[in-house]
Amino acid sequence: MGAFTGISVQLLESLTLGRLFATLFLLTLGSFVVDIITKPRYPKSIPHAGNGDGLVGKVKNGLGYITQYNDWAAEGYEKYAKKGRSYVIPAAPSRPSDIVIPRSQTAWLLELPDHLVSTKEAHRDMLHNDHQFFRLDDQFPIRTVHKHLTRHLAGFIPGVELEIRHAIDAVFGLETENWKSINLWEAWLGIVPQVTNRVLIGTPTCRDREFLDGQIGFADAIVTNSFILNMFPSVLHPIVARLVSITNWRHWRKAHKVIKPVIEKCLHDMARKEAGDPAYDSFVPEESLITWLIRQAMAEGLSEELTPERISKRLLPVEFAAIHTTVLTGHTLMLDLLTSDPKLNCLDAIREETTTVFREEGESHWTKQSLSKLHRTDSAIKESMRISTFATGLTRRKVVAKEGVTNEQEGWHAPYGSFLMLNMAGTHHDADLYENPNTYDAFRFSRQREEYEARAEDVEDPEADLKAKRLGMVTTSDSYLSFSHGRHACPGRFFVAHELKMILAYLTQNYEIKHIAERPQPMWIGQTIVPPLDVRIEIKRRKGTV
């Protein structure tokens, strides 16, 4: 025992600060070496963007990822993808490189079956789901949204519209005489989470700031932690993730404290209804993601899903997707509109259209039918999503077949664990697809739509009518990838379209907003943007509005 104690003392005395840092450095370096060795190896026949595939090139790629990724993607798109060739683009240090598929082969990629390439596994790896979403498979809530959201969408519109009015009035105020300066990013954070949660958790909790702050904090933590984990070698993720995900737990507990009694009551009432309790014969639960999750779990006999803790955790991936992307979209939309040429009067045109359609429909609130007639408003949003991409690519597949997949057209083979993607940023800024692709043209799509519809009025033209319908923001294609494309396209895009149209309609009809002279530019970090968070706008309530 004494000898053991003596050895321990000697070891502690020899453990200087310099030696400790040297050990940690060697451990990290060794972990990166293990990462490089275990990553899938791509065929040399596929050209590489960036600094090449050699050891020196890989080191340079790892160091340059943060600032050069978007440039590499653009270089590869022009040099290879536009000629129908795939290319490899370096990813973050802990991740395999991406094989970027040219637009001409979009159908090939998207038609590959799920047992060969997986959207689910690609997303799980990108967001580090096992560490950040408490090791819960996110497919149950996604499957539930797919089944229930669209069928209830029309019924949600009046409530969502009411929430939009409440949120916007609270954020921007009712002052009609003096201009108010407000941070644009914070304004959208004050609107979108409340409006979205009208659908996800119902009233009145959707207005509870403690709950909303918890969900916003959780969404921010996912983005920040994903970046941190991407920069660490994957063999260290179990250690690093435990540290960084402490914030995830803290934000979830904050939101759960608020939502727990709401879920408990819903569980109790729906269970009594299901059991045939006569006292609950007339009970009809408020439609929300909470009630859908309970209904889905009951239908599938998943008793483990019927607890407040499990249900509130099931809300998290949907909350993250809905809050993060919609706030980004709304923020960039306003920047694009407010910095467009004042002579075009974009906001006035949207105000005129929304006011005219609303009056013509003669309804007391928006409907699915009336919203579908807002062609210019729809175009302004779609055009912003086209030009102001917040990621290089959103359509990714992970090769999950042990034997890999083969691209017969080019003759290369992608092994198990490879990542395949479509370059959204390059496609959306391609001059062969869009005239003046780097210019925000708010009514780019509505002009084409009006031309097709005018043609169909003069002469029956089914093809022109079909082309007009395809110009809407929710219709995906190989040249418009903001909601991805194919069978795994975003299931919430129809709700987002309604939400953004109603927000834009209410803003333009009830507020004056000053033009911004120059478009503040975002900063690219790796394959995603950090928007200009410090932008402030000058706004005031229009006189004569209620």
Contact between 315 and 290 under an 8 Å Cβ cutoff? The reply is yes
Which of 380, 381, 384 minimizes the C-alpha distance to 522? 384
**How far is Cα 392 from Cα 528, in angstroms, rounded to an integer?**
7
Name the DSSP class of 473.
T
Q: Is 490 annotated as a binding residue?
A: yes
Instruction: Count Cβ atoms below 10 Å from residue 471 Cβ, excluding itself.
Output: 21
- Would strands 180-183 and 536-541 be described as parallel, antiparallel, or unpaired? antiparallel
Name the DSSP class of 96.
P
Which of 230, 235, 233 minimizes the C-alpha distance to 65? 230
- Would strands 98-101 and 87-89 be described as parallel, antiparallel, or unpaired? antiparallel
Q: What is the CA radius of gyration of the chain?
A: 26
Residue labelled with tokens 């692709």: 437
Contact between 319 and 215 under an 8 Å Cβ cutoff? The reply is yes
> Which residues are within 8 A (CB) of 154 and not within 5 positions of it... i.e. 6 or more apart?
367, 368
Name the DSSP class of 83.
G
SS3 255: helix
**How far is Cα 200 from Cα 319, in angstroms, rounded to an integer?**
8
Which of 333, 334, 374, 332 minimizes the C-alpha distance to 351? 374
SS3 465: helix
Query: Can you say which residues are annotated as belonging to the binding site for heme?
Result: 490
Instruction: Write out the binding residues.
Output: 490
